[in-house]
Structure 1
Amino acid sequence: MEENEGKSIVIEKCFSTFTLIKENITVLDLSNNYNNIIEKNMQLPINLTELYLKHNELTEVPVSVLNLEKIKILDISFNNIQYFDDTPNFYETIEKLNISNNKLLGPPYWIWSEKCKHLFDVNIGLNMNITKSLDNAYFEELLKYNTLVTRITINNCMLIKHLKLLGTFPKAKELILGSSELRNMCFTNKIEEVPFNGLDKCCDIEILELSNTNIYSITHNINIYKNLKKINLSLNKLSGLPEEFCSLVKLEVCILSCNNLLYLPDNFCKLDKLNSLLIDSNSLCMLPENLCRLPNLSKLDLYDNYLYEAPDEIEKLLEIDLAQNYFDEPDSVDYINKKGKIRLSQRERYDGRKLEITTAESEYSKDETDDELLFSEKSEEKEADNRPLSSPEDWDSDEYWIPYFSRQSNVPQSEWLYFVKQKMKEGNFCPMDAHPIPIADKVKYEKLCHPRTEYESDGQFDDYSGDDS
């Protein structure tokens, strides 16, 4: 208690000095546990242009802050603020607002209604309940406004049904919708495809951060982003990219790490301004020809894929990682140094070649003979029965006829099966290998579970009716 009072006295004395020279103070940082002082609504220097109030357990924006008229940068992140709808006196001068990591129940209304002329950077990320107050009428009202914000951070806000809100930032050049921090995965924005309704109105985007947003597909109209320079699609569920992706000719940085990609579009080498391509932890089995001949490519991360050979002309690259594929890594000092540069920002990576696990693509291999097929069929029948061969005397036992079936229903699918299913969705025919459990096995299982009932007769039907019937 005395220690806290001592801190207050020091700060109050400091503020008494500020009162005398307050016209000369333009930057003030009251972050980290100064909430006792702030809650007194003490007078702040009137010429403040930058104010930092992080980590103060504030439940609302202090009146003394709202009354300031010259603020250009306001950081009130990491507090417990639920609402910030009252228009502050500095709405005409504010340029950067950070209200992330709070408990907002709705977006600050004045950002939309006042159409602030100088506000270009807004960070409202990590407000997990920010859509709580967005009922139909309020949400529709917000959609009528177009802000002038050019950089919007709105990651980890549980945006699912309110993605149209992004359409109110048509001037946006940098849009941060995702985050690679795994500790916030349960609060991610849920996006299934890109572009979506709302994002399609932000055609001037240059930087698009969509990491860990549950994306399944990139649609064909991705080419509306003619000015896109950087895109981060890591930690999603992408299995492929459309050819139109290759129309993003201004793209310089492309991050596709931790997806399910099997291949890149054939025209990927049209991205001649690309200087950094991160496509580690995917399922790549091939690469576009002449990938390393891209004139500006200097960083290539292919760690943990299913490639059988290294790309050509890797010598000109400045950073590259080829470990954990189905070929031996180069052992030159030059390659080791280039790999080390990539791994400065990576953790827990392994060197060497990936252990190849061979799995049959279909139930029967083409190289099997008739005798081998017959033997394998008998082996499967024995495994399905899950018991030793019996004698004819056992057939009279009721227990013998209880069906046994040991085949697992959730057979893990290989990358090839995943690829085949994707092609089936595009309208191709249905190959035999696409079924995780063959139809014949399903029929066999049904017969075992529901055997046909047969009655034995010694020449006379059982008749339980009376003689008079």
Structure 2
Amino acid sequence: MTGNEEKNSCKKNDFTNGIPNNILIKSIDNFSNVTELDMSNGKIQNLDGNIKFPASLLHLNLSNNKLTEVPSNVLKLDNLKSLDISFNSILVFDDIPSFCHSIEKLNLSKNSLNGPPLWVWTEKPRNLKYLNISNNKDLCSTFTDNYLNELCQYKTLVNDIDMHNCRISKYVKLLASFCHTRVITLGNEEYVHHLVNNLDHFPCEGLEECRDVEVLNLANTQLFHINSNIDIYTNLKELNLSQNNLNSLPNEFYKLVKLETCILSYNSLDYLPSNICELTSLVTLRLDNNKLCMLPENLHEIPNLKVLDLYNNKLHEGPSNLNLEEVDLAQNCFDEPDDEEYLLKKQKLRISYPDRKIGRKVEVTEQIEPSLSSSDEEELYELATNEIIHDDQKDNRTSSPEDWDSDDYWIPQYDPPATPPLSPWIYYVQTKMREGNFCPMDAHPISISDLVRYDRLYNPHLVHSLDGHSDNYSDDDS
């Protein structure tokens, strides 16, 4: 058997009811030179303790199984460099493994951890570069003030940490232990409302200590405000603030002089700081799906800007004098360019956004009642008074007291004042209010008409008998 065939045979998942069969156990025992082993998607609940992994094993994949703990024979591996044990049901991983100082990548995402792997803090693995403990909803469930303060005293050597969807809102202080980390992921574009890390503002406690960070992902972290001390991140190269609740950026934003990629999509930004042109390293600026109504006049002065996404804003005029490689200006309040050069640049940017619309935004105007001019008010007043006079003249029927108690006969009484109020429109409204029809100037919880009906129902008018007629229901013999 060749080396490639040997490697492929060990990568193949050969399981029966979640338990590796004897053939696989023997094959692992026999292949002493195997360096990579894939045992994912095997429905493994308990790994057989008789399995002896080769000492040469460097990369092990146990993801998408049903493990509730890290197998003891895995903990005994001395030279392991990467371990993927994501998508399991592991509760605790505090035991110090033999590969503590050889491991480079550790993926514990999508488990049931009730606390971070303690040995990563206490032992400070020398070579651990990437740690993924995301999507563990109970990661902070065992935290107490004393335990959290103890963890924060340790400064891990992890270079890349992913902790999105861990509900660390009350425990952001933990981030102080990653003060040497260069890549921090606390957010994700896939929104899971009951797992998100609610930060509210940025920089926040704990994250203020991570001043060496170069790549920071805070998408979907419910941010409302960017503090003015954002300039503490002097090494920041990539910043993702998309899908938050931001409506402005501080003027100190321009001090992020090393920033190359800035993603601000899906916020509520109305404007940009005028000094944004001082971001001399900026290459990619994504501002799609905001509320921008204007752009800084000096936007063209950003020397290295190559990608500009302004899709779906409220701009009435597009940027000019920009030497861009990718740009999208569709769905704004101006006609989208139709020249071939622009279309090619837009097509290039839209490779990852196939569902976007083209053309100009369809403006939806709010239905606001126009104010009436003096001539309109006079005409309306004349119309209202004429209708009142006409109704009085038309309805000249004689009535009896019984008629006034009839729902069908009830007639609003109009008594226009001798001198109308200053505004004929107000007079008209008051007249309609007396009728019990509507009251546009006051949002009543119960409409005037309902109040009138209620009053008439529970406070009926007295019935007067007519002269010479009496209601007598007594027997003739009485």
Is this a same-fold pair by TM over 0.5? Answer: yes
Partner of 1:145: 154
For residue 196 of structure 2, the aligned residue among 188, 195, 203 is: 188
- Rounded to whole Å, the distance in 2 between the matches of 1:202 and 1:377 is 70
Give runs of aligned pairs for residues 21-40 of structure 1, distance below 5 A.
21-22=31-32, 24-33=33-42, 35=44, 38-40=47-49
For residue 318 of structure 2, the aligned residue among 301, 310, 322 is: 310
Partner of 2:267: 259
Partner of 1:459: none
**SS of the counterpart of 1:187?**
coil
Partner of 1:19: 29
TM-score, with length taken from structure 1: 0.77
- Rounded to whole Å, the distance in 1 between the matches of 2:334 and 2:177 is 49
**Do the aligned residues in 2 keep the contact of 1:320 with 1:339 (CA within 8 Å)?**
yes
**Do the aligned residues in 2 keep the contact of 1:195 with 1:218 (CA within 8 Å)?**
yes
- How far apart are residue 15 of structure 1 and its match? 3.7
Q: Residue type of the partner of 2:268? A: N
TM-score, with length taken from structure 2: 0.76
**Do the aligned residues in 2 keep the contact of 1:293 with 1:313 (CA within 8 Å)?**
no
**Do the aligned residues in 1 keep the contact of 2:46 with 2:71 (CA within 8 Å)?**
no
For residue 333 of structure 1, the aligned residue among 336, 340, 347 is: 340
For residue 392 of structure 1, the aligned residue among 388, 413, 429 is: 413
Partner of 2:363: 356
Give runs of aligned pairs for residues 7-406 of structure 1, distance below 5 A.
12-22=22-32, 24-33=33-42, 35=44, 38-182=47-191, 184-314=192-322, 316-359=323-366, 369-372=373-376, 391-392=412-413
- Rounded to whole Å, the distance in 1 between the matches of 2:235 and 2:379 is 62
Q: 1:225 to 1:405 in 2, by over 3 A?
A: farther
- How far apart are residue 224 of structure 1 and its match? 0.3
- How far apart are residue 71 of structure 1 and its match? 1.2
- Rounded to whole Å, the distance in 2 between the matches of 1:62 and 1:112 is 21
**Do the aligned residues in 2 keep the contact of 1:60 with 1:81 (CA within 8 Å)?**
yes
- Rounded to whole Å, the distance in 1 between the matches of 2:186 and 2:442 is 46
Does 69-78 or 201-210 show the bigger shift? 69-78
- Rounded to whole Å, the distance in 2 between the matches of 1:352 and 1:377 is 46
Q: Residue type of the partner of 2:271? A: Y
Q: Residue type of the partner of 2:190? A: E
**SS of the counterpart of 1:161?**
helix
**SS of the counterpart of 1:152?**
strand
Q: 1:327 to 1:378 in 2, by over 3 A?
A: farther
**SS of the counterpart of 1:141?**
helix
- Rounded to whole Å, the distance in 2 between the matches of 1:158 and 1:351 is 38
Q: 1:347 to 1:187 in 2, by over 3 A?
A: farther
Q: 1:37 to 1:186 in 2, by over 3 A?
A: closer
Q: 1:90 to 1:331 in 2, by over 3 A?
A: same
Does 296-305 or 369-378 show the bigger shift? 369-378
Q: 1:162 to 1:450 in 2, by over 3 A?
A: farther
- How far apart are residue 375 of structure 1 and its match? 7.8
Q: Residue type of the partner of 1:165? A: L
- How far apart are residue 8 of structure 1 and its match? 6.4
- How far apart are residue 72 of structure 1 and its match? 1.5
List per-residue Cα deviations over 1:334-365 (Å, max 9, x = no partner).
111111112110142111111223348x9876
- Rounded to whole Å, the distance in 1 between the matches of 2:382 and 2:132 is 66
Unaligned runs of 5+ in 1: 380-388, 408-439, 452-469
Partner of 1:434: none
Does 29-38 or 263-272 show the bigger shift? 29-38
**Do the aligned residues in 1 keep the contact of 2:29 with 2:51 (CA within 8 Å)?**
no
- Rounded to whole Å, the distance in 1 between the matches of 2:436 and 2:94 is 68
- How far apart are residue 371 of structure 1 and its match? 4.0
Partner of 2:465: none
Q: Residue type of the partner of 1:177? A: L
**Do the aligned residues in 1 keep the contact of 2:286 with 2:310 (CA within 8 Å)?**
yes
**SS of the counterpart of 1:392?**
coil
Partner of 1:465: none
Equivalent residues, number: 397
**Do the aligned residues in 1 keep the contact of 2:43 with 2:66 (CA within 8 Å)?**
no
**Do the aligned residues in 2 keep the contact of 1:172 with 1:202 (CA within 8 Å)?**
yes
RMSD: 3.2
**SS of the counterpart of 2:169?**
coil
**SS of the counterpart of 1:175?**
strand
- How far apart are residue 222 of structure 1 and its match? 0.4
- Rounded to whole Å, the distance in 2 between the matches of 1:326 and 1:376 is 37
- How far apart are residue 333 of structure 1 and its match? 1.4
Unaligned runs of 5+ in 2: 1-13, 384-409, 417-432, 453-478
